[in-house]
Amino acid sequence: MAIRKIREIGDPVLNKRCKEVTEITPRIQDLIDDMFETLYEAEGVGLAAPQVGILKRIVVIDVTGEDPLLLINPKLIESSGEQTGYEGCLSVPGKQGNVTRPNYAKIIAYDENLNPFELEGTELLARAICHELDHLEGHLYVERVEGPLVNTEDLEEEQ
């Protein structure tokens, strides 16, 4: 396993649509392992493959630090409600912005054996799912921000 370099806003790889995964090769397995390691090292909530420079539809999420989720070829099948709150991204370091997302999201995705499963989430998990799915389409949360981006440090001082 290895920590991969996280691409930052301005890198064109973050604005490209990702390709479906059709086979779990040893390279893909290494990528998945590295993505989890990179996510935990960066203390993030989610990471999509394009953030480490790979245009594949692979996402890792862990909203508690103890619930690793691997989503391959995830597709949103249902969403409802609304939540507005500060959101950040490992590709936009030190910043956060207000984004409105569904409060409930349900997806179908594939596991490490390419078996399909459904996953539903509310609140932070719903936000993380929607944020990461956007990455696979080449979109960053900054495109959806309401109001200015703020420095994470300033937000922490307010709390």
Helix (H, G, I), strand (E, B) or coil at 66: coil
- Among 23, 82, 132, 158, which one carries the catalytic annotation? 132
Is residue 132 part of the annotated active site? The answer reads: yes
Taken in order 62, 121, 13, 85, is the CA torsion positive or negative?
negative
Does the protein bind Ni ion through residue 89 (CB under 5 A)? Answer: yes
* SS3 of the chain: helix, strand, coil, percent, to 5: 30, 35, 35
Task: With contacts defined by CB under 5 A, name the span among 5-13, 82-90, 107-115, 121-129 that binds Ni ion.
Answer: 82-90
Nearer to Ni ion, 89 or 129 (CB): 89
Least spacing, CB of residue 49 vs Ni ion, in Å: 11
Nearer to Ni ion, 73 or 91 (CB): 91
Closest to 92 (Cα-Cα) out of 40, 143, 37, 157:
143
Binding site for Ni ion (CB under 5 A): 89
Catalytic residues: 132
